[in-house]
Amino acid sequence: MSRTITHSTCSVPTAHASRYLQQLCKHWAHKFEVHFDAAQGRIAMPEDRVVSLTATPTTLEIALDAPEDATAHMRHIVDSHIARFAFREELVFNWTP
């Protein structure tokens, strides 16, 4: 049975996008297939879940592909991990479908 994959994006204003991208990728590198550099990252998880990250000087761009029934949970997981790394600043995560 095939699952519907949902694509959603989030643009997080921060001057530390590259730092958070690299921290998240390093954090999950022991569990998942991860590729990253200072500007881009990709985390491939089981069950067709993929997190793609792009750092700009002013934002962290996040793209999430996940099964429809897991999208809200995956957004929460990504948000909470990045927010933990960014404890010195209050980040705003506004996801769009």
Give 16-40 pLDDT, tens digit per residue: 999 999 999 999 999 999 999 999 9
Please enumerate in sequence order all residues whose Cβ is within 8 A of that of 89, keeping only pairs 6 or more positions apart, or say none: 14, 16
Beta strands in 56-92 (DSSP E): 59-67
Eight-state DSSP code of residue 70: G
Q: What angle do CA 32, 37, 42 make, to 5 degrees?
A: 35
**Confidence class for position 68, pLDDT limits 50, 70, 90:** very high
Q: Which among 93, 86, 43 is positioned nearest to 72, based on CA atoms?
A: 93
Other C-beta atoms lying within 10 Å of the C-beta of residue 18: 21
| Verdict on whether the full-model pTM lies above 0.85 | yes
Beta-strand relationship, 49-55 and 40-45: antiparallel
Confidence check: pLDDT of 1 > 70: no
CB 63 within 8 A of CB 70: no
